[in-house]
Amino acid sequence: MSTSTRPRRRLLTALTILSGLGLLAATPAAADTLYHERYRPQFHFTPAQNWMNDPNGLIWYKGRYHLFFQYNPSGNDWGNMSWGHAVSTDLVHWKQLPVAIPQDDEEMVFSGSVVLDKDNTTGFGTRANPALVAVYTSLVKSTGVQRQSLAYSTDGGTTWTKYSGNPVLDLASANFRDPKVFWYAPTRSWLMAVALSDQHKISFYSSPDLKHWNHLSDFGPAGATGGVWECPDLFPLPVDGDPKKTKWVLAVNLNPGAIAGGSGAQYFVGDFDGKKFTADDSGPYTAPGGTSLQDFESGSFGEWTATGNAFGTAPATGALDGQSPVTGFDGKGFANSFHGGDAPTGTLTSPAFTVTSNYINFKVGGGNHPYRPGSVLGDAPAPTGETLADFEGGTYSSPIGDWTTTGDAFGTAPAQGTLPNQQEVSGYLGNGLANSYLNGDASTGTLTSPAFTIDKKYLDFLIGGGYHAANSDAPTAIELVVDGKVVRSATGANAEALNWASWDLSDLQGKQAQIKVVDANAGGWGHVNVDQVVLSDTQAQPRSEETGVNLLVDGKIVQSATGANSENLDWASFNTAAYKGKQVQLQVVDANTGGWAHVLADQFTAADKPALSSTQRAHWLDYGQDFYAANTFNDVPGGRRVMTAWMNSWNYGGNIPTSPWRSADTFPRQLSLRTVNGGTQLIQQPVSELKTLRGTETDVPATTVTDGTTPLGVHGSTLELKADLTPGTADRFGLDVRTGAGQRTRIGYDTGTGEIYLDRTASGATDFDPTFSSTEHAPLALDGKPLHLRVLVDASSVEVYAENERGEQVVLTDQIFPDPSSTGVDVFADNGTASLTRLQAWRLASIWK
C-alpha cells in the first residue's frame, strides 16, 4: 500500500439477473440499484460503496475464503485506510462484512496478511480455539513512519483486537510496508517478506511468536525498479505438477514503472533456503554486440552537433551540479542535458548515416516526457488573426469586449504568472493569463467571452492545468458554445505548462459563438490556465515538451524513446529493418523546462538483435494497466495457490467514473509453474469455480475473415470466451469485445512485432484522465501457429489469458467503461486473412443475487 505517489445488499429480481446476463439493458431505475449501477462488475468483487485498493489478509479458514482489503469507510476517494472484509465459500460469490480493522486517531491500517496461529505461539487464543492474527503496516499519522503491528481475532475473523504491544517491528522508516507472513515448517517459525519500498528491496524476517522478529536477508534491487516496491508475496509451487521438483516464487508489485507504464506486478522464480531467496536469472545482462555509433568516450561530441545549452560542450562524466547520482552509463562519458538544471533546453544530433542493421540499441534515462506526434521543437510564431483575448491588461477586457466571471476562481483580473502555492506556470505569452488557481484548487468559477462571429477556420489557444474534461462531473476546460450548446472543448494535461491547442471550425462558419473557461473542480489539479485565444486561418502546432531520443528519416521522427523519471540509464532499441539502405539521423532532445526536464543517453550501437530494458527483461504477472497489489491466499485446501489483485491503477484510480464504489478486484487466478523453452514460467488461469456462473454454451462455426470485421452473433456484458485463431496473411488479427455504439475493445495480435495487444482507446468513456486511453502489448511468438485465448468480459473490465502452441502465456487486464448497449463480439483481420477455428462463449450470471 503506497501513498508515496498517489495519496487518495444483494438483491434478487428477474430484472437484475437478466441485466447481469447481458440479455436486457438496464432501465434508468435499475441502473441506480445497488450492485447494478452502470459499470458495476457483475462477477468481480466490489465493495457496496466507497473506495477500495489493495487486497489484504487473504486466507481460507473453516470453509470460507476471507478477503480483507484497503478501504475508506467514509468516502469514494483514497483516505482513512482501514481493513474492509468480505467472505466467500467458493471464491466467486462474496458477502461484504463490517469493517474489520478500522483506522484510529493515531494510525491508518495499511496492507498486510493474516495467518492462523494453530499452535497458539502468540498466546492470543488457545490450541482448541487458535486465533487468526493480522500482521499489518501501521502508518503513524503524526510522523508518517510505517511499522508492522498485530491484531487478532478469536471469533473466526468477525471482530479484531489490536495487540497492546504494537508495533512488533519498527525501522523508523516511511517506506517499510506490506508484510506477507506464513508458517515455514522446516524451521517451525513464522516468516515475513516485507518491502523496503524506496530501496527496491524485499526483507525477510523470522519469528517464533509473531511478536519478536529477526532479520534474515534482503533481496534486490532486481528486475524492474522504475517505481517503489510494494506488496511482496513468497510461496512454493511444484514445477509441471511434480511435487518432488519445487521452486519458490517471489511476487513484487511496482508503482510506477511497470511494463504498461503505471502500476504492475512482477515475479521472480528461484530457490529459498529458509533464510535467503535467490532468483534463477540473477546474473548480469549483456546487450547484443554490434557496431558502435557513439559511445561518448572521446571527450567530445565529435561530429554530433549540439544546440541550446542543455548538453554543455562535451559529454558528462557523472552527475552534474544539483543532480542526483547517475547510474547505468558505460565507460566514462555520456550525454547529459542537466547542465544548468532542468530549465535549459537543447538538442544533440548525429550526422546522417546509412542503416545497415536491424536495430539501433542505446541507453536512455532522465525524464519521462514522450515525443508527441505533430509537436514542433522551439517556439514557433504565435498564430496571427483576430485576438479574442491575450489577458495582458489589468482587467478581463479584450478587443471584442469585456469577458465576464462567476465564482471566485478567476478573480477580477488576469493572473501575472504563477499564483501563491502554485507550481511554476510556463508557456504563456506576455505577462498575463487566465489562471483559476486563485486561492488554490478549492475555488471554482467561469470566465466567458462576449459573443463573436466565427469567420476563420481555426480557433487557437494556449491551455494548461488540470485534466478534467468538459463532459465530466467537475470540468477544468475551455469550451466553445454555439446556440447554447458546447460544440468544442479542451482541457489541460495535469501540468502547469501551457501549450497550443486548436479547433477546426470549418463547419461553424458564420455562427455566433462564445468562449467559456470553466473551473468546476475543487479537487487535485482543480484549475485551468488559458492564454492567447486567437481566431486564425493557421492551425497552431503544440510545442514539443519531450525528453528523449529520436530516430529521424528525411528529417521526420519515425521512432522515439524516453526516460523513466530516473537517473539510471537503461537499454532501449529502435527497429531499423525497414530503413536499411536509407540515410537516418539520431537526435537526443531536451525540450522540457519542468520537473525531470532532462535526458541521459549513451552507447548507440547498430546490432542484429534488440537490447532489452530491465522492464522488458522482468517477468510480469500481467501486462495490462489494471493489475496491482497482487497477493495469494494462505492455507487453501489441497495446496492450491490462488491469487487476486486490485483491478485499478494509481495513474488514474481516483478518477474512474464509478459511484457509489470505486475499484474492483481481479477474478481469482490459480497459479502453477510450467517448463517452457527450458525456463520456468508462472501460469495463471481463472479458478475452476468460474464454471458455476456459466449459462448455455454457444459454439461459433469456424470462419475466415479478410480485411475487415465479422460479427460473431455473440452478445453479452458478462462473458467467458475461449477462442483459437490462426494467422494467415493479415498484419493484425483477433477479437473485438463490447462492440456497438461506435465502441470496441480490441484483443489483437500483431504478426510484425510478435505481440498480443489490448486496445481500449475506443472502449467507451476514456476522457476522465489523460493516461487512461491506451494500448497494452505483450510478447508472444506464434511462428505461424494458433493463438489460444481465454477472455473474461465484465461490465467494466477485460481479462485476457493468451497462450501459444509451446505453452508460453501472457495475461493482460484492463478496465473499460463502455455503453451498456455495447455487447457484441467480432473477429477481425487487417491487411490480409486470419482464421477463427474455434470460439466457445458463455454468458456469466451475476454474483449479486
Distance from the Cα of residue 494 to its chain's centroid: 16
Closest to 419 in 3D by CA, of 282, 519, 304, 308: 519
Q: What are phi and psi of 743, to 5 degrees?
A: -115, 155
Q: Are 566 and 322 in contact (CB under 8 A)?
A: no
DSSP state for residue 690 in the 8-state scheme: G
Alpha-carbon gap, residue 270 to 466, rounded angstroms: 45
Distance from the Cα of residue 321 to its chain's centroid: 33
Which listed residue (54, 390, 570, 759) is catalytic? Answer: 54
Cell of 287: 546487450
Phi-psi region of 583 (alpha: psi -120 to 50; beta: other; left: phi over 0): beta
DSSP state for residue 327 in the 8-state scheme: B
For 29, the 3-state DSSP assignment is helix
Grid-cell match 525456463, residue found: 679
| Annotation says 54 is catalytic | yes
Alpha-carbon gap, residue 254 to 266, rounded angstroms: 7
Query: 3-state SS string over 229-274?
Result: EEEEEEEEEEECCEEEEEEEEEEEEEECCCCCCCCEEEEEEEEECC
Grid-cell match 512454493, residue found: 236
221: cis peptide before it, omega within 30°? yes
Closest to 715 in 3D by CA, of 21, 4, 3, 13: 21
For 506, the 3-state DSSP assignment is helix
Closest to 436 in 3D by CA, of 427, 451, 447, 450: 447
* DSSP string covering 535-548: EESS---PBP--EE
Alpha-carbon gap, residue 254 to 649, rounded angstroms: 11
Cell of 703: 470462419
Q: What are phi and psi of 187, to 5 degrees?
A: -110, 5
Alpha-carbon gap, residue 264 to 644, rounded angstroms: 13
Q: Are 539 and 578 in contact (CB under 8 A)?
A: no
Alpha-carbon gap, residue 151 to 605, rounded angstroms: 56
DSSP state for residue 16 in the 8-state scheme: H
Cell of 704: 475466415
Grid-cell match 477586457, residue found: 397
Query: In what side-by-side order are the strands of the sheet with 201-207?
Result: 176-184, 189-196, 201-207, 214-219
Cell of 363: 541507453
Residue 830's CB: how many other CB atoms inside 10 A? 17
Alpha-carbon gap, residue 234 to 204, rounded angstroms: 10
- Identify each DSSP E strand in 197-241 by its residue range: 201-207, 214-219, 228-239
Q: Which residues touch 209 (CB under 8 Å, ≥6 apart)?
A: 121, 122, 123, 190
Alpha-carbon gap, residue 642 to 670, rounded angstroms: 5
Q: Are 449 and 388 in contact (CB under 8 A)?
A: yes
Helix (H) or strand (E) holding 568: strand 566-575
Cell of 246: 519445487
Bridge partner list, 572: 362
* DSSP string covering 702-742: PEEEEEEEEEEEEE-SSEEEEEEEEE-S-SEEEEEEEEETT
Cell of 269: 522464480
User: Among all residues, which ones are annotated catalytic?
Assistant: 54
